[in-house]
A and B are shown apart, each in its own frame.
Chain A
Amino acid sequence: MPILEITDVSAGYGAGPDILRGLSLEVEEAKSYCIIGPNGAGKSTLLKVIAGLLHPRSGDVVFRGESLAHRRPDQVLATGVCFVPQDQALFPEMSVRENLIMGAYLVKDRALIKERLARVYEMFPILAERAGQDAGKMSGGQQQMLAMGRALMIDPILLMLDEPTLGLAPQIAQQIFSQVEQLKSMGLTVVIIEQNAQRGLELADWGVVLDLGIVRFEGPSEGILEDPRVRELYLGKAAGSREKK
């Protein structure tokens, strides 16, 4: 039973053209997905639509039976869908601890917040170390961990990460990936966008290739990069020209 159903969604920014053009996708519970595709394909746009930051012009987004299409972001968050954007969206002048607590903004139970905070500190010891530091002063990798830790404060069911390793050194990226592995093992449904298709697909169960606003290909992450059509699309003419030799 899919936990998230995106049906024929079209969306765009302002008065601009449709970025998503009738996109449909199903997401199964407790599985992990990696979305890849060329720039401008609509990957970030898709996540924003699911998160309620952008309203679809047509089509529907149904999460656990509820339609999210025209809800406000805070309403979407309340259903258990959590989004970590490309720039992490942290509060630079608040401390690590304050940022984490803000992650639980919608949670009323103080004891619960404390409990979750402790759990996040356990998962990400570096955050515990720097609890009092201003978020704006941390390194890229630390900020990404803070962003993920913050997402966990709301105990999400579906976690969406937009390019979590963007701009990070390989060792740090590896750390992030292992954290995501951990999240997977906790039973979360994870959807990530990853520029590094290889890595992302290693991590995920299922690969989704976006192009020009629709899902062009999807399938088990293992084989998807092998498919010549996907290679041609995603890796571009380089792959094709190499073959010519």
Chain B
Amino acid sequence: MIEDRAALGPDDSAPEPTEDEVQRPPGPARYRWYVLAAVVVALLALPLFRPVISSYNYVLTLGALILMWVAMSSSWNILGGYAGYISLGHSVFMGVGGYVAGVLLYYHGISPFLTALLGGLAAVALGFLAGFITLRTRGPAFIISTIALLFMFLLMTDNFEYLGGAAGLPLPPLPVSQEWLRVPFYYAMLFIAIGAVLTSYRVAHSKFGMGLRAISEDETKAEVAGVPTRLYKISAFAMSAFWVGVAGAIYGYSIAFIRPTVFFTIAISAQMVLMAIIGGKGTVAGPVVGAVLIYAINEMSLVVFGATEFNIVIQGTMLVAVLLFFPLGVVGTLRKMNRLPAFLNWD
């Protein structure tokens, strides 16, 4: 008669553990918050160590820039990492923020430190509007439209005299003595970076964040499961714009001029993307790690190769190499190998 083969062979009914169930490294979770708090305190206190730091302004400027990139790549990550929608034109938001604050300063004398948040909101508004139109498509068409958006703004700012045209607008410097000039910008960027990372963290640990991840995995299934995909995507797009806009406003002020080619370039978007990916897109700590890493590598290659185009080659090569060999980025790969230090595990 017919035999029941299951009765004969081994019954392997235990499913293999999926990646999600990979065990987190053991150890007190609390301790990572203490480390982070310590880092933040150190960053806050940095400018106070004036007597000990040579080339004070350089260090503060460097710090401010790294913090800015931390903020921008973390923000990009909300759409690009969590939701999986790659925005290659994200620098458009930096420009919007920069121009809003810059124009208000130039024509009305209002300090960008006050209008920076307004710049962020303007970026959000653009994010909603653009998202509404462009997120009607998926994948490649969306990516292309973000690039088109960027170039549109480049073209517009290049051609409007009110905005200074191609030459841009020079901005009056902050009325503070040269010695302490970089300090306000440093603190502003620190505030922005903390804000951006916190936002990213909150999104990641929310229902909204889970929905975004579902969209990233399989949008159709997410929709079928009841996730309001269009609302979520547009919101993610808008949210990812805020801190980038704020950073843009402060950045413009810190270099004392706004000009189309400063903001509306692919190079800036590329940098955001690169940082998020190398650090580990889709993780909270990834963009932070990536920003620090890439900036360090950039500085080193500047020293070694000088300010030539070769630096771009290195960036491109890094992106390609990471995509092919370590697509999860530093944080992602470490986590997969169970070697992620607890203080970097913010997911």
CB atoms of B12 and A21 under 8 A apart: yes
Residues of A within 8 A of B9 (CB): 22, 214
Q: How far is the CA of A230 from the CA of B18 in the complex (A)?
A: 31
Q: How far is the CA of A17 from the CA of B12 in the complex (A)?
A: 11
Q: Does B16 contact A (CB under 8 A)?
A: yes
CB atoms of A217 and B12 under 8 A apart: no
> What is the distance, in angstroms, from B7's C-beta to the closest C-beta of chain A?
9
Q: Does B4 contact A (CB under 8 A)?
A: yes
For B2, give its contact among A15, A17, A21, A217 (CB under 8 Å): A217
Q: Does B3 contact A (CB under 8 A)?
A: yes
CB atoms of A229 and B15 under 8 A apart: no
Residues of B within 8 A of A215 (CB): 5
Q: How far is the CA of A128 from the CA of B158 in the complex (A)?
A: 62
For B5, give its contact among A15, A17, A217 (CB under 8 Å): A217
Q: Which of B1-30 contact A (CB under 8 A)?
A: 1-6, 9-10, 12-13, 15-16, 18-19
Residues of B within 8 A of A217 (CB): 2-5
From B2, B5, B10, B13, name the one whose CB has the most chain A CB atoms within 10 angstroms: B2
CB atoms of A219 and B15 under 8 A apart: no
Q: Which of A207-245 contact B (CB under 8 A)?
A: 211-212, 214-219, 223-224, 227, 229-230
For A214, give its contact among B5, B16, B18, B19 (CB under 8 Å): B5
Q: How far is the CA of A11 from the CA of B344 in the complex (A)?
A: 36
Q: Which of A21-46 contact B (CB under 8 A)?
A: 21-22
Residues of B within 8 A of A227 (CB): 1-2
Q: How far is the CA of A230 from the CA of B1 in the complex (A)?
A: 12
Which residue of chain B lies nearest to A218 when distances are taken between CB atoms in the complex?
A: B2
Residues of A within 8 A of B1 (CB): 219, 227
CB atoms of B13 and A224 under 8 A apart: no
CB atoms of A216 and B5 under 8 A apart: yes
Q: How far is the CA of A224 from the CA of B2 in the complex (A)?
A: 8
Q: How far is the CA of A223 from the CA of B2 in the complex (A)?
A: 9
The number of chain B residues touching the other chain, given as a range, is: 10 to 19
Residues of A within 8 A of B19 (CB): 15
CB atoms of B16 and A230 under 8 A apart: no
CB atoms of B6 and A214 under 8 A apart: yes
> What is the distance, in angstroms, from B8's C-beta to the closest C-beta of chain A?
10
> What is the distance, in angstroms, from A116's C-beta to the closest C-beta of chain B?
39
For A229, give its contact among B4, B10, B12, B18 (CB under 8 Å): B4
Q: How far is the CA of A30 from the CA of B1 in the complex (A)?
A: 23
Q: How far is the CA of A121 from the CA of B2 in the complex (A)?
A: 41
For A212, give its contact among B3, B13, B16 (CB under 8 Å): B13
Q: How far is the CA of A186 from the CA of B272 in the complex (A)?
A: 64
Residues of B within 8 A of A214 (CB): 5-6, 9
Residues of B within 8 A of A16 (CB): 18
Residues of A within 8 A of B15 (CB): 17
Task: Given A17-B15, A17-B16, verify A211-B2 contact (CB < 8 Å).
Answer: no
Task: Given A17-B15, A21-B12, A212-B13, verify A230-B6 contact (CB < 8 Å).
Answer: no
CB atoms of B12 and A216 under 8 A apart: no
Residues of B within 8 A of A216 (CB): 4-6
Residues of B within 8 A of A224 (CB): 2
Q: How far is the CA of A229 from the CA of B3 in the complex (A)?
A: 10
Q: How far is the CA of A127 from the CA of B149 in the complex (A)?
A: 49
Scan A1-26; emit 1 where CB is below 8 A from any B CB, else 0.
Answer: 00000000000000111100110000
Q: How far is the CA of A16 from the CA of B19 in the complex (A)?
A: 9
Residues of A within 8 A of B2 (CB): 217-219, 223-224, 227, 229-230
Scan A68-82; emit 1 where CB is below 8 A from any B CB, else 0.
Answer: 000000000000000
Q: How far is the CA of A223 from the CA of B9 in the complex (A)?
A: 24
Q: How far is the CA of A224 from the CA of B1 in the complex (A)?
A: 10
Q: How far is the CA of A117 from the CA of B230 in the complex (A)?
A: 48
Scan A49-70; emit 1 where CB is below 8 A from any B CB, else 0.
Answer: 0000000000000000000000
Q: How far is the CA of A229 from the CA of B6 in the complex (A)?
A: 11
> What is the distance, in angstroms, from A233's C-beta to the closest C-beta of chain B?
9
> What is the distance, in angstroms, from A12's C-beta to the closest C-beta of chain B?
9
Residues of A within 8 A of B12 (CB): 18, 21
Which residue of chain A lies nearest to B19 when distances are taken between CB atoms in the complex?
A: A15
> What is the distance, in angstroms, from B333's C-beta to the closest C-beta of chain A?
15
Residues of A within 8 A of B10 (CB): 22
Residues of B within 8 A of A22 (CB): 9-10
Residues of B within 8 A of A219 (CB): 1-2
Q: How far is the CA of A229 from the CA of B15 in the complex (A)?
A: 24
> What is the distance, in angstroms, from A115's C-beta to the closest C-beta of chain B?
43
Q: How far is the CA of A227 from the CA of B1 in the complex (A)?
A: 9
Given contacts A15-B19, A214-B6, 18 further A-B contacts (CB under 8 A): A16-B18, A17-B15, A17-B18, A18-B12, A18-B16, A211-B6, A212-B6, A214-B5, A214-B9, A215-B5, A216-B5, A216-B6, A217-B2, A217-B3, A217-B5, A218-B2, A224-B2, A227-B2
Q: Can you pick out 15 interface pairs between chain A and chain B where the beta carbons lie within 8 Å of each other?
A: A18-B12, A21-B12, A22-B10, A214-B5, A214-B9, A216-B5, A217-B2, A217-B3, A217-B4, A217-B5, A218-B2, A224-B2, A227-B2, A229-B2, A230-B2
Q: Which 3 A-B pairs have the closest CB atoms?
A: A219-B2, A17-B16, A217-B2
